[in-house]
């Protein structure tokens, strides 16, 4: 299939589906009539099951405390499941105890919707751990992101209370993620993805050798992994494994499922704040960036790999590390989509990408606003919107306004703090590990490529993405602890600070719109958002881009005819 057609299928179909899915998400998270009809019956059912805890309306502070409390409880529960997996049922292959720092890293990874994996699932994890710890977290961590966006949207709409976290989490998990994942799992089973609680099986190869083949409840795990922008694979090779992704059909379905809920979140945001044209501007800006990312990745990967210089295949596209069942363009396209949405799953080896192609997924994670994770991608975009509005206001000499509320010093301090946390975690961690044996001693590739591998690992952790450039021995105690802490800080600080901004704006009196008010529903505002993202992103990350992928590209013998 031609690359252009495949890109169009993978991006256009989810974009079209995002409109009705966005309406369904709004019905689930912020219904106009929460007490009447079928929706009302669901509300009463949740109320009777969860009790009064879902009834009380919360301001942004109580909402954040509830979010942190529940996520802490999830973290502790999953720590216990992994620490005791050798004693729990659903362990037909007799998986043993896990190393303590790996338990901490994995719990941090899945509770933060990152799914960075320093382990091989089929080797290390029992079915009980995969289902009741990791897969369960893929539901509730994604639900946390949707809940955070719903709360932010209510604050920006001017409501004094932003909702109730526990009610939002129930709605997001049971009314959005669970039905979507069920449908997706059925499609995957029909496409050949296994779904069984049986243990590993042995088979005799044509050469007479005995091979142990791992299997398990893969379809259920993969469904929420993709839809919830989680990305953690049941198997170590993730979606390149034939049991996770057996056919071209499943590859296309999984690619589309990565972006559909992230796209729909934008329309949910617009409906809750009552400004669909503003949401359309944001959607078009995000769509423009993801199309540029995907097209650039596929184009750059059509160049030969430098490793093939001087060989008969040196003029062929870079096929190293690709799953050739799906064609040369599927790997780089997936790499662009998975890092634009904070999903992190892969169907090719990121470390085998051409150096400049590797810059594409890094850029997606550095910016972290191109649709992003379900819910939280738009929460991150909100920070750039606030900064862009403030800059425009200062340029014309008036106090800037966003959705009729004045953006003043308090909001800008919070926005800049949220903006700087991301590069601080990435650049600080990269500098520390590149300069010490903690990182330099685990790199198998010297020079710029090895530096990129270290930087990619911290970028993936800070973006709550979870994909890996690999090529490094990242299963050590320093790597487990460092990336675990980065994932925790990078998840909750960028949620709390935007909610604080929304709470601050909600407490202000609306300002009447005048001819001098910056409209947020025009093409001009879309260019303002794009300009702010590109300018700030370049200022923050251009130096390390030059030290890593650009230097790697220029150092290649193929660039100089050698």
Is the distance from CB of 280 to CB of 273 less than 8 angstroms? no
| Domain assignment present for 562 | no
pLDDT for 327 equals 74
pLDDT for 20 equals 96
Is the distance from CB of 380 to CB of 369 less than 8 angstroms? yes
For residue 443, the 8-state DSSP code is B
| Domain assignment present for 86 | yes
Neighbours of 444 (CB within 10 A): 12
For residue 402, the 8-state DSSP code is E
Neighbours of 446 (CB within 10 A): 9
For residue 511, the 8-state DSSP code is P
Question: DSSP alpha helices (H): ranges in 228-303?
Answer: 248-273, 276-301
Residue 76, exposed/middle/buried by CB under 10 A (0-12, 13-18, 19+)? Answer: exposed
Range of the domain at 188: 3-274
Angle ∠(509,515,518) on CA atoms, nearest 5: 70
Beta strands in 205-258 (DSSP E): 210-213
Is the distance from CB of 521 to CB of 513 less than 8 angstroms? no
Angle ∠(473,476,477) on CA atoms, nearest 5: 160
Is the distance from CB of 433 to CB of 440 less than 8 angstroms? yes
| Domain assignment present for 105 | yes
The angle that helices 477-506 and 409-434 make with each other, rounded to 10 degrees, is: 170
pLDDT for 1 equals 59
- Look at the chain and report how many structural domains it folds into: 1
| Domain assignment present for 179 | yes
pLDDT for 315 equals 65
Ordered per-residue pLDDT tens for the chain, 562 residues: 567 788 888 899 999 999 999 999 999 999 887 777 888 888 888 888 878 788 889 999 999 999 999 999 999 999 999 988 888 888 888 888 889 999 999 999 999 999 888 888 778 888 888 888 888 899 999 999 999 999 999 999 988 889 999 999 999 999 999 999 999 999 999 999 999 888 888 888 888 888 888 888 899 989 999 999 988 888 888 888 889 999 989 989 999 999 999 999 999 999 999 999 999 999 999 999 999 999 999 888 887 776 666 666 666 677 777 777 777 788 888 889 999 998 988 888 888 888 889 899 999 999 999 998 898 999 999 999 999 998 888 877 777 888 888 988 899 999 999 999 999 999 999 999 999 999 999 998 888 989 999 999 999 999 999 888 878 888 899 999 999 999 999 999 999 999 999 999 998 888 887 777 788 889 999 999 999 999 999 999 999 999 999 998 888 655 544 4
| Domain assignment present for 147 | yes
Is the distance from CB of 225 to CB of 233 less than 8 angstroms? yes
pLDDT for 510 equals 87
| Domain assignment present for 250 | yes
Neighbours of 180 (CB within 10 A): 22
What radius of gyration do the chain's Cα atoms show?
23
What would the two tokens of residue 447 be? 């020079």
Which CA distances in Å does 193 have to 219, 221, 232, 234, 244?
6, 10, 16, 12, 6
What would the two tokens of residue 502 be? 């929304």
The whole model's pTM is what?
0.93
Angle ∠(285,330,16) on CA atoms, nearest 5: 40
| Domain assignment present for 21 | yes
| Domain assignment present for 495 | no
pLDDT for 511 equals 83
């Amino acid at each position: 299939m031609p690359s252009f057609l495949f890109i169009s299928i993978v991006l256009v179909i989810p974009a079209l589906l995002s409109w009705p899915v966005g309406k369904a998400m709004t019905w689930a998270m912020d219904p106009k009539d929460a007490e009447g009809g079928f929706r009302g019956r669901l509300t009463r059912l949740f109320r009777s099951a969860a009790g009064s805890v879902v009834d009380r309306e919360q301001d942004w502070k109580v909402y954040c405390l509830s979010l942190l409390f529940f996520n802490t409880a999830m973290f502790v529960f999953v720590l216990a499941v992994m620490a005791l997996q050798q004693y729990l049922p659903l362990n037909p292959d007799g998986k043993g105890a896990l190393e303590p720092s790996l338990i901490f890293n994995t719990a941090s990874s899945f509770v933060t919707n990152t799914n960075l994996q320093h382990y091989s699932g089929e080797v290390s994890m029992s079915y009980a751990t995969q289902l009741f710890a990791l897969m369960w977290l893929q539901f509730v961590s994604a639900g946390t992101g949707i809940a955070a966006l719903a709360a932010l949207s209510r604050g920006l709409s001017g409501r004094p209370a932003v909702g109730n976290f526990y009610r939002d989490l129930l709605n997001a998990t049971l009314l959005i993620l669970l039905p979507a994942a069920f449908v997706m799992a059925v499609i995957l089973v029909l496409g050949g993805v296994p779904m069984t609680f049986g243990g590993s099986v042995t088979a005799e190869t044509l050469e007479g050798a005995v091979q142990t083949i791992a299997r398990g409840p893969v379809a259920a795990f993969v469904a929420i992994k993709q839809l919830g922008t989680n990305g953690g694979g049941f198997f170590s090779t993730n979606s390149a494994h034939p049991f996770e992704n057996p056919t071209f059909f499943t590859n296309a379905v999984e690619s589309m499922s990565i972006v559909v809920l992230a796209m729909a979140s934008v329309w949910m945001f617009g409906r809750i704040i009552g400004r669909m044209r503003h949401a359309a501007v944001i959607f078009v800006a995000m769509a423009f960036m993801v199309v540029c990312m995907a097209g650039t990745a596929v184009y750059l990967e059509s160049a030969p790999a430098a490793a093939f210089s001087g060989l008969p295949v040196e003029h062929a596209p870079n096929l190293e590390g690709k799953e050739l069942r799906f064609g040369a363009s599927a790997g780089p396209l997936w790499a662009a989509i998975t890092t634009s949405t904070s999903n992190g799953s892969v169907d090719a080896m990121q470390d085998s990408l051409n150096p400049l192609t590797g810059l594409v997924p890094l850029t997606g994670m550095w910016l972290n606003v191109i649709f992003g994770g379900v819910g939280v991608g738009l929460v991150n975009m909100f920070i750039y919107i606030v900064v862009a509005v403030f800059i425009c206001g200062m340029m014309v000499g008036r106090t800037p306004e966003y959705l009729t509320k004045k953006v003043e010093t308090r909001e800008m301090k919070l926005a800049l703090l949220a903006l700087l946390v991301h590069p601080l975690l990435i650049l600080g961690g990269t500098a520390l590990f590149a300069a010490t044996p903690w990182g330099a001693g685990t790199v198998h590739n010297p020079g710029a490529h090895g530096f990129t591998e270290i930087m990619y690992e911290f970028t993936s952790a800070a973006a709550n993405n979870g994909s890996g450039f690999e090529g490094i021995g990242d299963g050590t105690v320093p790597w487990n602890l460092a990336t675990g802490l980065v994932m925790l800080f990078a998840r909750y600080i960028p949620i709390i600070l935007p909610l604080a901004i929304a709470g601050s704006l909600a407490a202000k009196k609306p300002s009447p719109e005048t001819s001098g008010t910056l409209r947020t529903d025009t093409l001009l505002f879309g260019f303002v958002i794009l300009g702010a993202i590109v300018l700030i992103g370049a200022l923050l990350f251009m130096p390390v881009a030059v030290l890593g992928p650009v230097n790697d590209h220029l150092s290649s013998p193929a660039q100089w005819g050698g």
